[in-house]
Chains A and B, each alone.
Chain A
Amino acid sequence: MHRVMRLTTCCAVVVGMLGFAAGSWAQEVKSPTIDAIKKRGELICGVDTGIPGFAFQDSAGKWQGLDIAYCRAIATAVLGSVDKVKYIGTTAKVRFSVLQSGEIDVLIRDSTLTLTRNTELGLAHGALNFFTGEAFMVKKSLNVAHATELNGATICVLTGTTLELNIADYGRANNIKINTLLFERPEEAFAAAEAGRCDGYTDDGGSVAAARSSMKNPKDWVILPELISREFLGSYTRQGDERWNILVRWVHYAMLEAEVLGITQANVDEIKKSATNPEVRGFLGLEENFGKKLGVDNDWAYRIVKEVGNYGENYEKYFGPLELPRGWNNLYTKGGLQYPLPWR
C-alpha cells in the first residue's frame, strides 16, 4: 500500500513537472518592454533630431527617413499600426542616457555600434541597418582629392560622437594634423562650414551626403573617396530584455528578407494570394509560426512590407535623393554586406 502511494506521488510529481514545463513552453514570450508597449498602445522611438536620409520632418511635420521606417515597422509588428509611434528627437550627447533611463523603448538614431557602448554603457546592439564609414566633405575650390592631403586643415565635427577619436587616430596614422572644431548641433556646424570657418565637414558617409544636400550650393562641395573608419550604424536596446532585442533585430531581417524574396510594398498582396514558394509562404505567415515565436502575430512581416516596404525600397526613397549609392548596403547577393539570417 505504502509503495503504491509513493509510486503514485512520484508519478504525479513528474507529470506535474512536465505539465508545468509544457505550460511554460506554450506560454507567450516574456518581455517587459513588449508588455509595456502593448499596455501603453504606443512605441516610443528615440531618433535623430533631424538629418536628411535617417530622420527628418517633412514640410507637413511628419517624420521621414530610414530610421523612422524602422520605428514604424516595429510598431506595426507589435501593435498592428505604423502610426502608433511617439518619436523623441535626441542629440548625440543625451541619446544613450535617454535609453538607459527607460524614456524610450528603442534607440534608432544612426548610432555606431561599438564595444564601449556595448559594455560600459550597458546597452545591447539591435539591428545593424547601415554600413558606412567616416567621410570628409570639403569645398571643391580647395582642390583636395584625398583625405591624406588635409594636413593643417580645419574640419567641423559634431561632439559626443565616435568621429573625434577617428580623426585623431587617422592623423596619427598618416602623420598629418587635422584641426577640429567641435559643435553640439549640426545646424551651427553646417553654418560654420558654409561660411568658411572650417575647410570641411566630417561625419558618417550617409550624414555627409545629407550635409552636402543641405548646403546652399551642393555642387560646390566634394566628398573625398576615403572612409577613415568603420561606422556601422544600428539600433540599441537596454540590456536585460533579450526578447525585445531579438524582435528589433528580426524586424530588420524581415525588411531584408522581403527584398531577397522580391516582395515589395506594391506586389505583397498579389504574392500573398498566389504564393506557392514555401519560403514566401513562411515569411508572410501562411505557414509556420515565425511571428508567434518572436512574441507577435504571424501577419507581422506581411504588415511590415505592406505598410513600410522592404529595405531596398526604403533606401531608395531616403538616400536616392541624396545621390548616395548603396555600396556596402546592397544585399549580399549583389556584392553588399546586408543579409537576413535564415528564416528557419
Chain B
Amino acid sequence: MVRRPSRRAYIGQWVLLAGVVAFGWLLADMVAGNYARKNLHFGFGFLGDQARFDIPFHLISWNLFDTYARTLLISFLNTILVAAIAIVLATLLGLFVGIMRLSPNWLARNVALCFIEFVRNTPLLVQIIFWYVGVMQTLPSPRQSIELPGGVLLNIRGLYVPDVVMSADGSTLWWLALGAAAATPLVWVLRVGSERIGWRALLLPVIGLGLFSASIDHIDFPALKGFNLTGGTQVPPELAALSLGLATYASAFIAEIVRGSIEAIPKGQHEAALALGLKGWQRLFLVILPQALRIMVPQMTSQYLNIIKGSSLGAAIAYPELFSIFTGTVLNQTGKEVETIAIVAAVFVTFNLLASMLMNWYNRRVALVER
C-alpha cells in the first residue's frame, strides 16, 4: 500500500475526482439516452427564435418579435429588481425590529417579539399571497383612484407616477446636469490656493437643477383613458406585493441576527460608551452597531441569498420574473424542458455566487484586521 500520508491523500483526491467525472458523465449519458428514446433533441438554438408573446412588466423595451434570449434578460432584470428592493427593505426593517427587540420599553420589545414569531412561523408563499390578495386587491378600481400629492395615482392596477418627458435636444443638457451633480463631492475637496472650495461646490447641483428643468419638455400625468390609466409610469401591485412579502419574511430572520449580534458585544463596550458620556442612540450607532456588523455580515449573506431564491414565488402572483417567464411560458412554447431549467438554474447560481462574493468582499473589509 501507499505508505506516505501525503501521497495517499493525493491519490484519494484523484480517485474522488474520477468518481465525480464518471458520475457526471453517467448522468449526461442518461439524459441523452432519454432524449433519444423520446425523439427529442437537446440544444440551445431556440434562444434565437422569436418569442411572440407579451411580457406584462419590463424594464427595458420589449416587443413581440424579440427573441427568447431577450425574454431571459427581461425576466432576469425583473428578478434583480424585486430582489434588490426586498433586500434593502428587509435590511432596514430587520435592523429596526432587531433593535426594538432589545428595547427597555416593554411594549416595543414585545411587539417586536410577536412580529418576529408570527412572520417567521408562517410560510413565505402564504404571506406573499396575503400581500397580493389581502392588501393590494383591496385598493379601489382605476375610476376611483386615490390621488396622492404630485399627480401620483394609486389604485388596484398599481401606483402611477408622472413621467418626465425630455425635449428633443434635452438629452445633452440632462447628461450635463447629471455630470454636475456627480462632480460636486470631488469639487468640494478641491483647493484653490490654500483654501478648500467646500460649500461653494453646492453651486454645481443648483446649476444642474437649472439645466434639468430646462431640458424638460412637459410632464406626462397619468389619466384615465378607456380601461386603464395611460401616461406616467406604472408600478405594478405584483412587484409591490412580492417585494413586501419577501422583505417582511426576511426581516424577521434579520431582526434575530441583529439582536444576536448586538448581544454578542461584550458588556464592557456598553459600559465604556456610557463612561464616555454618550447618549443612548450614540452608544448604539457609534459603538455597538459598528462592532455588531462584523458578526452580522456572514449571516446576512445567507438571508440575502434566500430572498433572491424566494423571488421565484412571484410566479404565483403574476409577477413576470425569471422562473415564471422562462420555466413557464418559454418552456411551454418551446418544449425545451431540460434546457430552460438548466438555464434558470445556471442564472440563479451565478447571481447568488456573485451576491455572496460581494458580501464576502464586504465582510473582509469590515472584519477586524488581525496581525
Interface residues of A (CB under 8 A from B): 92-93, 96-97, 100, 116-117, 120-122, 142, 150-154, 156, 159-161, 164-165, 167-169, 171-172, 179-185, 188-189, 191-192, 195-197, 199, 238-240
| A181 x B318 contact (CB < 8 A) | yes
Task: Please tell me the size bucket of the interface on B.
Answer: 35 or more
Interface residues of B (CB under 8 A from A): 37-40, 52-54, 56, 64, 129, 132-133, 136-138, 141, 156-157, 225-228, 230, 237-238, 315-318, 320, 324-325, 327-329, 331-337
| A165 x B327 contact (CB < 8 A) | no
Q: With a CB–CB cut-off of 8 A, which chain B residues contact A93?
A: 327-328, 331-332
| A167 x B230 contact (CB < 8 A) | no
Contact of B137 among A189, A197, A240 (CB under 8 A): A197
Q: With a CB–CB cut-off of 8 A, which chain A residues contact B318?
A: 156, 181-183, 188-189, 192
Q: With a CB–CB cut-off of 8 A, which chain A residues contact B132?
A: 188
Q: How far is the CA of A184 from the CA of B328 in the complex (A)?
A: 8
Contact of B54 among A150, A167, A239 (CB under 8 A): A167
Q: Chain B: which residue is nearest A97 at the CB level?
A: B337
Q: How far is the CA of A171 from the CA of B333 in the complex (A)?
A: 18
Query: Smallest CB–CB gap between A101 and chain B, Å?
Result: 9
Contact of B228 among A92, A96, A179, A182 (CB under 8 A): A179
Q: With a CB–CB cut-off of 8 A, which chain A residues contact B64?
A: 168, 172
Q: Chain B: which residue is nearest A144 at the CB level?
A: B227
Q: With a CB–CB cut-off of 8 A, which chain A residues contact B332?
A: 92-93, 159-161
| A159 x B137 contact (CB < 8 A) | no
| A159 x B328 contact (CB < 8 A) | yes
Q: With a CB–CB cut-off of 8 A, which chain B residues contact A100?
A: 38
Q: With a CB–CB cut-off of 8 A, which chain B residues contact A161?
A: 332
Query: Smallest CB–CB gap between B276 and chain A, Å?
Result: 55
| B40 x A197 contact (CB < 8 A) | no
Q: How far is the CA of A117 from the CA of B336 in the complex (A)?
A: 11
Given contact pairs A97-B337, A159-B328, A239 touches B39 in the complex (Cβ within 8 A): yes
| B53 x A184 contact (CB < 8 A) | no
Query: Smallest CB–CB gap between B54 and chain A, Å?
Result: 5
Contact of B226 among A97, A151, A171 (CB under 8 A): A151
Given contact pairs A117-B335, A188-B132, A196 touches B141 in the complex (Cβ within 8 A): yes
| B337 x A120 contact (CB < 8 A) | no
* 8 A-B pairs whose Cβ atoms sit less than 8 Å apart in the complex: A152-B227, A152-B230, A159-B329, A160-B328, A169-B52, A184-B324, A195-B138, A240-B37
Query: Smallest CB–CB gap between A36 and chain B, Å?
Result: 16
Q: How far is the CA of A100 from the CA of B226 in the complex (A)?
A: 45
Query: Smallest CB–CB gap between B83 and chain A, Å?
Result: 19
Query: Smallest CB–CB gap between B322 and chain A, Å?
Result: 13
14 extra A-B contacts, CB within 8 A, seeds A120-B40, A172-B64, A188-B317: A92-B332, A93-B331, A116-B334, A120-B336, A122-B38, A142-B227, A150-B227, A153-B227, A154-B227, A154-B228, A159-B315, A168-B64, A192-B137, A196-B137
Q: Chain B: which residue is nearest A191 at the CB level?
A: B133
Q: With a CB–CB cut-off of 8 A, which chain A residues contact B133?
A: 188, 191-192, 195
Q: With a CB–CB cut-off of 8 A, which chain A residues contact B331?
A: 93, 160
